[in-house]
Amino acid sequence: MEYPAEMAKAVVSEATEFFQSSLRFKCPEQQGWRYQKTREAHLDYLAALTAFVESANGNSFSKAAERLGIKASTVSRYIKDLEQDLGIALFNRSTRKLALTEGGQTFLYHAQKVLFELSEAKAATSALNQNPRGRLKVSLPPAFARHHILPLVGEFIERYPDITLDLCLEESQVDLIATGIDLAIRIGRLANSNLKARKLAEVKTFLCVSPEFAARYPQPDCPDQLPVDMMIIGRQCPEALIWANDNEQVSLPVGAVLWINDLDAQLIAVSSGLGMALLPDWLASASLRDGRLVRWLPDWEIKTSQESGAVWFVYPPKRIVSSKVRCFIDFIAERVVDPPVWQQ
């Protein structure tokens, strides 16, 4: 396992902060410290690890000393003591450059893990005594955001006034780490990735028509009776749909009367009687309840719909989820509940 560049930067930053703020840290120019293998001296092993990681990342003892606010001779002493304790050379030293040995590279990997775990533990503990605050950047599917997230934003802001929401409504699944997104809501079947995910709710797909359309065409008993060339579909719809019930499975080609790449626009089009549409339950349920839409083939399941699956919270793979992200997830999950509001 290798730590991503973003994580490595966090390791160094957090470790430096720990080094400078630790009340138990002793260095020669501050407290007349002398290295001895005693119980108290072992408490300074973390400071030595920090000096080592800084030196390795900057290829310089002097740069490490500058960042840590101590003398270069102190950093050099830390490295020497580590090498003595480990019984190996960590660096190849020359007048021009400082380079890790093979043993140093191995030790760097584990030292970063130790410092990262320390910073994560510190952050998790500190979060218990802090109100969630700061900017929270969330990526949302536009239609789902309009119907189920935006109506809740006012209440969220009132509850957490120190959090500033930055909502990005976008259909494409952007790279969360590269774009600085803290959290995303995604719908459908998740692609394999190193992102962490939490399910918000299951999603079902309905074949919907307007009452006017239903009056023009007899309601089918099975998929092969559908006027398949009257579909209103999105850009990602497959060339054929697989329909299944308890007894059989049927594959039918899709013919489009209209292509629309926005779910709200598909809802408007099908409500206007332009054709049939496969709509997720979170979008269609209200219109089905009040009679603006009619569901066809309720006993059949569409196996290949992009909107089938679930609604997910997705976030970068940090060991400790920030309090502002956790608050948003818990708040939305509390409002959507299980089963979700659109299935009640």
**140-169 pLDDT tens trace:** 999 999 999 999 999 999 999 999 999 999
CA 307 to chain centroid, in Å, comes to 19
In single-letter form, the type of residue at position 159 comes to R
Q: What per-residue confidence (pLDDT) applies to 58?
A: 87
DSSP string over 105-174? HHHHHHHHHHHHHHHHHHHHHHHTTS---EEEEEEE-HHHIIIIIHHHHHHHHHH-TTEEEEEEE-SS--
* 337 has pLDDT over 80: no
Mean pLDDT value across the chain:
83
Q: For residues 11 and 53, give the distance between their C-alpha atoms in angstroms, rounded to a whole number.
A: 9
* 284 has pLDDT over 90: yes
Higher pLDDT, 36 or 273: 273
**Which domains are seen in the chain, by residue range?**
5-127 (1.10.10.10), 134-201+309-343 (3.40.190.10), 205-302 (3.40.190.290)
Return the DSSP state at 70.
S
Residue 122: partners with Cβ closer than 8 Å, 6 or more residues away: 14, 18
Q: Mean per-residue pLDDT for 270-274?
A: 95
Q: Mean per-residue pLDDT for 134-139?
A: 93
Q: Parallel, antiparallel, or unpaired: how do β-strands 163-169 and 134-140 relate?
A: parallel
Q: What per-residue confidence (pLDDT) applies to 307?
A: 54
Q: Parallel, antiparallel, or unpaired: how do β-strands 256-259 and 231-233 relate?
A: parallel
Specify burial of residue 127 (Cβ count, 10 A radius: 0-12, 13-18, 19+): middle
Q: Please report which confidence band the pLDDT of residue 276 belongs to, taking 50, 70 and 90 as the band edges.
A: very high
Q: What per-residue confidence (pLDDT) applies to 239?
A: 77
CA 102 to chain centroid, in Å, comes to 34
* 33 has pLDDT over 60: no
For 38-76, the pLDDT digits (tens) are: 434 444 788 899 999 999 988 899 999 998 999 999 999
Q: What per-residue confidence (pLDDT) applies to 7?
A: 52
